[in-house]
Each structure stands twice: as C-alpha cells, then as structure tokens.
Amino acid sequence: MSRILLIGLLISSRLVMAQDFFRLTGKINHPPQDYLTFTYYSDWISDPREYTLKINSDSAYLVEFPLNGIAYCDISFGEHGLHLLKIEPGDQIHLTFDNDDFNGTLRVEGPGSAKWAYQLMLRQKYEVDRDYEMELNNFKTHSRADFFARTEALIREQTELLEAQAHSFSPEFHALQKADITGKFKLKELGYLNFSKQPDSTLQMNWNAFSEEIKAKSIYLGQLADGLAGNALTDFRYKNSRTLEYEYLKNFRKIVGQGITEKILAAKILDYLNLDGLTEEIKLLGQDYMFFSDNDVYKKVIAYHFRKQEVLETGKEAPNFIVENRKGKLVELKDFRGKNIVLGFYDEECVLCKEDIKAMEFVEGYYSKRNDLAFIFVNLSPRDSYRSFVKTYKPLGIHLNGYNNPFLKKNYSTDILPNYLILDKSGRILSNTVDEPRLDDGRSLIQEIDRLIFGK
C-alpha cells in the first residue's frame, strides 16, 4: 500500500498533537528520482502503511502521521534503503543524504534522532563495514558449539553498545532493541539447527526475560517464535484439521508467552480465512480467539475481516442503512438504487481519510459525465463537525452523516477507516477490497470501476 503526500500538506491544528504524531523531513542531494517510499509497521497483523513521498524542487520531502506507540519503518530510495528503523510518537526526524554517497553522508537530527543515530551506527558497523550475515553463513560449516559461541559474542557486543547509550533512549525503545538483538541472533541459531538437521530443543532461549508486550512487538522474537511453531507443525499428525492445529498452537504460550502466541494465532486465523473462507469451523476459531486474546488491535483486525466475509461478501446485497444529509433529512442507501455506487466511510479525525477525499476528486472528475455512477461517503463524525467539514472543504460527491450509528459499526466494520465498497445498480456488492485512492491518486480505483461496472 502506498500513499502520496505533497510537500506542504496542511494538517488541521486541532488534530496535530506532537506527542501523538511522528514526523520525518529531509533533503536529498543529487536525487535521481522525485520520490522516496516510507513504510511503517505498527504491528505484525495489521497491513503496513506505505507512503510515496514527493521530493519538491528544493530536494526536500515530508511525512507526518499519528502514531500510537513504538513501531518500525523502512525507507527506500532507488537502490538505497534503511530497513526496520524504530520510530516513536513525538519523533521529529530530519534525515539528509547525498545519493552519490549514501552511506557516507547519512545525517540525522531533531527530537528522537539519538535512537536513529544509534541504529545507523549499527547498520554501518554490522552491515556496511562488516557483513555479519556473511560471517555467520561461513559458520555453517562449523560445529554447533562454534556457531553458537559466535552468536552469543555478537549478542554481548551489541547489547554493550546499547547499554552504553541507554540514557539517551526511552524505556520502550531500550526494551524492544534489547529483544531484537537477542531475537535476531537466536533466529540465526535456529537457522543453523534447521540447516544441519539438529533438533531446535537445543536452542537456549529465555522468553521470560521480556515482557509480553515487547515479545509481541519485536520482529525478531516474532520470527523466532514463528520458526519454532513451523518446526513443531512439520510433524503434526492432524494438519488437515484447522481446529486441532489451532489448539496445538495455543499451547505455545507455555513456551513463548501469551502475547506472542496471540500474534501467531491471529496470523493463522487470517490464513485460514483467506484459504477456506468463512466456514463454520473458522467462525468458531474466531470466537475462541476473542476470548483467548487480550490484544484489542489483533481482535479488531480479525473482526473486520470476518465481518467483510460474512456481511459484505462479494455478490451479496449491501445492508441498507438510514443516515442524515446536511439538512437533517433521513436518507437510505436504497434511495440510490438505479445507480452504480462507490461507497465510502470516513471520520474527520482520520488524517488518511482526508487524503482519500482529496484524491477521490480526480476519480470523480474522471467520471463526471456519467449519470449512472454515484460517489457516496458517510462521515462518522458528530453532526456539527460533519457539517463544518463539508462546508469548509466542499468535497465532491454526496456526503452523509452516520455519527454514533451502531448498525454501521456492526455491518460495515467502521471501526477501521477508511473503508470502501463498490455496488452495482441493484445494491449488490461488486468489491469489498477497494484500493484507497490516496495510494496512487485513484488510478487503481478507476481501473477497478471500469472493469467491474463498465466491463472495460
């Protein structure tokens, strides 16, 4: 998923709260292209967020978005890249470099930059100046004792570097970085054991050294747990039973803990859903997960996908709803029968939704001469905010208000925004997986409308 942000994007001062936003600015000398890609991962179940950042005439770029907690990000620019850097709410990072000497000119400053400087130092030391991956791969011909001695030495070495600068970091960053250091090299040990066909029971790992929250957040501890779970399932006797496999994996909490087991199971349920559809068995597993898990984010993502399959399945009639227009008159979805519809749900507090509304203008303009296609958007903000938004921004399309509407929440999964559907003239759902228009200025949406509605 990618989003295009223009330099100078204005965000309402009412929405911007420094402690809740992440901001990245920078400048690139000798840029060979006019954009770079920024991707961030808030957790390992939700889809990643990807932004395509336009580089302006001054070779500068900007991205800013709300961030609820520590996360990871990637930055890609041509053949160069920075991967899995940790970011936190309140960071205001200014990153500059010269494309002709990327590694030699990386500079970072601003609030939160101490952890970026530290992470860039590790990258230079262990990836650019010295390729530890190659070093460890060479150890594949060595004994287990020799290989494990090398990984333990690297864990100690990188942990010492972390502790030397711990005073500059938040407790959350320190804990997550320490977990990643351990997880990264324990993952290498697991790879060695798998490569040499040795049992993974010889892997020495103290899962209790990390909190449940950190274990669930850490990419490397997560990959390590996934690897161990994969090994366990290799010889599992009941692979054709989703229920038995799921119950078997629940027992992993005795080894890796509750938090990371919740992540493993959430990913499994989504895999089952994609492979099998919403069968009765998968429904029961989803219900069990809601009781088993304490992670509200994971549960919300699963509920969203279940609801999409159950109520908003392609080919079904979209549930009728009643909302208000600007004048307070009640309007029903079925009032628009006879027109094909692009139906969207948004909230004034959702910054990404506002980007979509802006990008949607291009799509609506493209179809301006078509009388058989309507763009209908349901604003979920309080009535006064909705009216103010429509009056101020004058967005195209039909904008209705569905504030505090439990029917919409239940049937249209409006906990996750933005949210779009394409309906035919009879109200039948043609697509429930619509690409948000901000991803590519609406080009993919135009192609989908042409294909589904106009048979192009």
| Band (18; pLDDT cuts 50, 70, 90) | very low
In this structure, are 245 and 106 located in the same domain? no
Residues 181 and 264 in one domain: yes
User: Pick from 259, 275, 308: which residue ends a domain?
Assistant: 308
Do 238 and 146 share a structural domain? yes
Q: Average pLDDT over the chain, rounded to whole?
A: 89
**Domain limits at 21?**
4-128
pTM of the model: 0.76
pLDDT at residue 339 tops 50:
yes
pLDDT of residue 9: 33
pLDDT of residue 351: 77
d(CA 162, CA 69): 20
What order do you get walking across the sheet with 49-54 strand by strand? 4-5, 49-54, 35-41, 71-77, 80-87
Write down which residue in 128, 158, 185 finishes a domain: 128
Q: How far is CA 260 from CA 56, 186, 199, 253, 303, in A?
A: 42, 16, 22, 8, 19
The answer to the question of residue 317 being in a domain is no
What are the angstrom distances between the C-alpha of 373 and each of 340, 343, 378?
5, 11, 16
Both 149 and 111 in a single domain?
A: no
Last-in-domain residue among 91, 106, 128: 128
Residues 115 and 141 in one domain: no
- Give the separation between CA 5 and CA 28, rounded to whole angstroms: 17
126 to 76, 139, 343, 379: CA distances (angstroms): 19, 16, 49, 49
* Same domain membership, residue 380 and residue 276: no
pLDDT at 325 over 90: yes
Tell me: do 212 and 326 sit in the same domain.
no
pLDDT single digits (tens) 160-175: 999 999 999 999 999 9
Judge if 74 and 163 occupy the same domain.
no
Structure tokens at 424: 């035919």
Query: Which CATH number belongs to the domain containing residue 379 in this structure?
Result: 3.40.30.10
Rounded average pLDDT over 3-20:
38
Instruction: Give φ, ψ of 256 to 5 degrees.
Output: -100, -15
pLDDT band at 276 (very low <50, low <70, confident <90, very high): confident
Q: What is the mean pLDDT of residues 164-190?
A: 96
Q: How many domains does the chain have?
A: 3
363 and 216 within one domain: no
- Distinct helix (H) and strand (E) counts, the chain: 16, 16
389 vs 399: CA distance, rounded Å: 10
Q: For residues 213 and 232, what is the distance between their CA atoms, to the nearest angstrom? A: 24
Pick from 75, 61, 68, 173: nearest CA to 118: 173
Region of residue 397 (phi > 0: left; psi between -120 and 50: alpha; otherwise: beta): left
**Worst-scoring range by mean pLDDT, 123-127, 283-287, 368-372, 412-416?**
412-416
Same domain flag for 86 and 203: no
DSSP-based three-state secondary structure for 27: strand
Q: Looking at the structure, tell me whether residues 49 and 81 fall in a common domain.
A: yes
**pLDDT surpassing 60 at residue 257:** yes
| Residue 240: predicted pLDDT | 78
**Side chain identity at residue 345, one-letter code:** F
Q: Per the domain annotation, does 314 fall within a domain?
A: no
Per-residue model confidence (pLDDT) at position 177: 98
